[in-house]
Structure 1
Amino acid sequence: MKNLLQFGAGNIGRSFIGQLFSRADYEVVFVDVDQTLISAFNARHSYTVEIRDQENQTIEVKNVRAISAVDVDSVVREIASASIMGTAVGPAVLPRLFPVLARGIQERHAAGAGPIDIILCENLRNAAETVRSGLQPLLPGDFPLAAYMGLVETSIGKMVPMMPDEVRKHDPLMVFAEAYNTLILDHKGFINEVPDVPGLAPKDNMKAYVDRKSFIHNLGHAALAYYAHLVAPEMTYTYQAVEDPELRAWVKIAMWESGRTLMAMYPGEFTQEGLEEHIEDLLQRFGNKVLGDTIHRVGRDLRRKLSAIDRVAGPLIEAERGGLPAPYTAIALAAGLYFLAPGSDNKPFQPDAEIVRICEEQGPEQVIREICGQSDRMIRIVTEIYRSIGREQQNGRLPRQSFGALGDRIASFFLPGAL
């Protein structure tokens, strides 16, 4: 039986990557640090994915086992014998895999096993180059990395909510997900043949689709969360925000700002009609009530989500580079600096609270420059938006008429010669 060695048994690893390969008759071997998950996998050799969408479905994922990431020798042996590998650990954790990957592929090569591909499910721009540059210093100078290990970038479009505490306590392996089940990945990244796994959608211009995911899908999620928290902080779920006509309209404007940027960056790859269909589909999926996705989840982790290479600041940088206006994206960035939506514990994500505090006490300029990577001109624009929000807020809420007026006023800042 073919097998997938999957680093990361979190929500994406279980609900998406492991599920796809298991249904294609692969054994799925998870590598994780969570001993509770590892023990449960090895006791049951299966787990449940509940599809929560217009039509609910229960998927039993079978032929599963797990090993601890701490057991390096076992992980190396699995690398040596795997059919294919995958990662879904997050950009911050990904570099921690480089030493074991380097050792594993050396031992695999020495044993005479063939080349192997690794599917990088990290929502990270330039993920292949990140892994390549991280592995090369750990390998002998003559190791044939480019010919031996295929680095396959992906665009992860599946939405998976945070699991409720009571569900995790009852069944730590169960995961909820939407019905969407297509994994866009880089056709050119494979060294071996693309696996015959239903749901894989290879693309030749992968960078365009990675950016589409970040600039439209992820941006839309972030803008939805940050706008909603400003004007309706009592909202908990993304569907509540999507059902609000004003919020939905503002978010769609921001998504289309990125759409125009993408069309300029990748001529001929995307059409206006295709992006309109994509944006409307995303907004409908954001409004999935039964999925129960929260404003806290899609907005939290400001240091990552507002960074220069991510979903809000990244599109703003590219729009400015292309000379395109993006006032609602700039508003989303400024609004993010006020984001304190509580999670299931009724508290905001603590690192986010620290960023909000710094902006309140010292002004937002340093954060916009150092975390968000914006130009001097954009720092002035976003700072003005931030301060306008502060002036207009009433009891921690921005009046809707103030938000609408802000959008009209900020649009003028993008005219030639403004600010």
Structure 2
Amino acid sequence: MKALHFGAGNIGRGFIGKLLADAKVELTFADVHPVLLEELSRRKGYNVNVVGEQATVEPVSNVSIVNSTGQEAIDLIAQVDLMTTAVGPTVLEKIAHNVAKGLVLRHRQGNESPLNIIACENMVRGTSQFKQHVFNALPEDEKAWVEAHVGFVDSAVDRIVPPAAAGSTDPLEVTVETFSEWIVDKTQFKGPLPDIKGMELTDNLMAFVERKLFTLNTGHAITAYLGQQAGHATIRDAILDPKVREVVKGAMEESGAVLIKRYGFDADKHAAYIKKILSRFENPYLHDDVERVGRQPLRKLSAGDRLIKPLLGTQEYSLPHANLVIGIAAAMRYRSEQDPQAQELVESLTTQGPKATLVEVSGLQADSDVVAQVVSAYEKMH
């Protein structure tokens, strides 16, 4: 099997790329970063530090790389069996034009074998959204052929991949936690289902997408926002603070109650899943800054994301949400000189005030009780 993976950053190398390479897939990365292009072209491999109780160094070898904006990437799309991405939600639209060109070339070359595309992004049904971008870039007379021969497969991905440790000089070395989860919607594939160790096939993807979004993502974000409020630098320091932990755990239990109602999850198993997530945040070998985890607060406060979506679920089923409210208020207090969205948030809060800002960003009803609750919690924080 041949695969092309867009995005040779930490998640691309440490998670999806590693799983594909371990499965002996013939793997080519696509990226624009000059250092990654140069080093991967020269070395054809890199080391992954898997950190936990038993730390190991796992080499990845026999990989290659092309420039994602160039003809080589287009040519490969015409040939490969699988295409994956880990580029970040905002970059999907940017790579869609070249992907469309590759699909047109595939058709012209008469390649009738199925191609499956999986966007491995931290977003709900990211591949379906990517498909829209690709179809917007396709000529009208190519759409039917692509619909028939290309599977756009949604997935849920979960692995904490922090930035390289300070002092690391190898631009390809990457550190990951032991835990990883890659769940894909088996109903969306074209052709035979792939057999890749570490890829889990399901016919009920939304249950797993929301389980991850409402637990790991919700908890991670609230840990970061409350951690920053309490003066902690790392996720580990924040989650070991009893006051922070109490709210984070409470918020995950509130969002978990929504999942149990919506998907029939087993309550004891879900409690164990929450416990597992908390232990991952405590991992002493992962040095993850609260500022990094909290970045892009406007996206994280949007209606379909990790804070507001579970809150809406609690309203739908008339469930408690006091801890989620505190988490949302803390997100509005997030500050970062390095993050344009944090700057935008501050500007909006200064010019419009907390209520109008929250309503605009989240889509919540201005006159709702929950908006009043968040604003009240926000005003109590300094």
Q: Would you say same fold, with TM above 0.5?
A: yes
Q: 73-82 vs 357-366, which deviates more?
A: 357-366
Corresponding position of 1:328 = 323
Work out which of the residue numbers 368, 374, 382 in structure 2 matches 1:385: 374
Corresponding position of 2:61 = 62
1:279 aligns with 2:274: yes
Shift of 1:226: 1.5
Corresponding position of 1:359 = 349
1:256 aligns with 2:253: yes
CA–CA separation in structure 2 for the residues paired with 1:207 and 1:176: 29
Corresponding position of 2:84 = 86
What SS does the aligned partner of 1:67 have? Answer: strand
CA–CA separation in structure 2 for the residues paired with 1:157 and 1:75: 27
Q: 352-361 vs 368-377, which deviates more?
A: 352-361
Shift of 1:161: 0.6
Seen in structure 2, the aligned counterparts of structure 1 residues 205 and 384 have a Cα distance that, compared at 3 Å, is closer
CA–CA separation in structure 2 for the residues paired with 1:10 and 1:197: 21
Query: 1:250-301, CA deviations, whole angstroms, 9 ceiling, x for partnerless residues?
Result: 21110011111112222x3x11112111110000011101111221122111
**Which residues of 2 match residues 31-180 of structure 1 at below 5 A?**
31-71=30-70, 73-113=71-111, 114-137=113-136, 138-141=138-141, 143-164=144-165, 166-167=167-168, 170-180=169-179
Query: 1:67-97, CA deviations, whole angstroms, 9 ceiling, x for partnerless residues?
Result: 11221x2111111111211011111110112
Shift of 1:165: 5.6
CA–CA separation in structure 2 for the residues paired with 1:306 and 1:48: 35
CA–CA separation in structure 2 for the residues paired with 1:216 and 1:5: 30
**Which residues of 2 match residues 295-334 of structure 1 at below 5 A?**
295-334=290-329
Corresponding position of 1:404 = none
Query: 1:323-351, CA deviations, whole angstroms, 9 ceiling, x for partnerless residues?
Result: 333121122111111112x6xxxx45343
Shift of 1:376: 2.6
CA–CA separation in structure 2 for the residues paired with 1:382 and 1:289: 37
Corresponding position of 2:243 = 246
Give unmatched runs, 5+ long, in structure 1: 397-419
Shift of 1:311: 0.6
Q: Displaced runs of 4+ in structure 1, greater than 6 A?
A: none
Identity %, equivalent residues: 33
Shift of 1:384: 4.5
Query: 1:199-229, CA deviations, whole angstroms, 9 ceiling, x for partnerless residues?
Result: 1111110011111111111000011112222
Opposite residue 62 of structure 2, the aligned amino acid is N
Corresponding position of 1:183 = 182
**Number of equivalences:** 379
CA–CA separation in structure 2 for the residues paired with 1:251 and 1:78: 44
Corresponding position of 1:265 = 262
CA–CA separation in structure 1 for the residues paired with 2:162 and 2:152: 27
Opposite residue 283 of structure 1, the aligned amino acid is L
Shift of 1:361: 4.4
Opposite residue 322 of structure 1, the aligned amino acid is Y
Seen in structure 2, the aligned counterparts of structure 1 residues 128 and 349 have a Cα distance that, compared at 3 Å, is closer
Give unmatched runs, 5+ long, in structure 2: none
CA–CA separation in structure 1 for the residues paired with 2:245 and 2:234: 13
2:296/2:342 contact within 8 Å kept: yes
1:225/1:298 contact within 8 Å kept: yes
2:156/2:183 contact within 8 Å kept: yes
Shift of 1:27: 2.2
1:371 aligns with 2:361: yes
Shift of 1:62: 0.6
Shift of 1:127: 2.0
2:20/2:196 contact within 8 Å kept: yes
CA–CA separation in structure 2 for the residues paired with 1:212 and 1:308: 17
Q: 211-220 vs 360-369, which deviates more?
A: 360-369
TM-score of the pair, normalised by structure 1: 0.86
CA–CA separation in structure 1 for the residues paired with 2:245 and 2:321: 17
Corresponding position of 1:405 = none
Shift of 1:3: 2.1
CA–CA separation in structure 2 for the residues paired with 1:376 and 1:358: 16
CA–CA separation in structure 2 for the residues paired with 1:262 and 1:368: 24
Corresponding position of 2:19 = 20
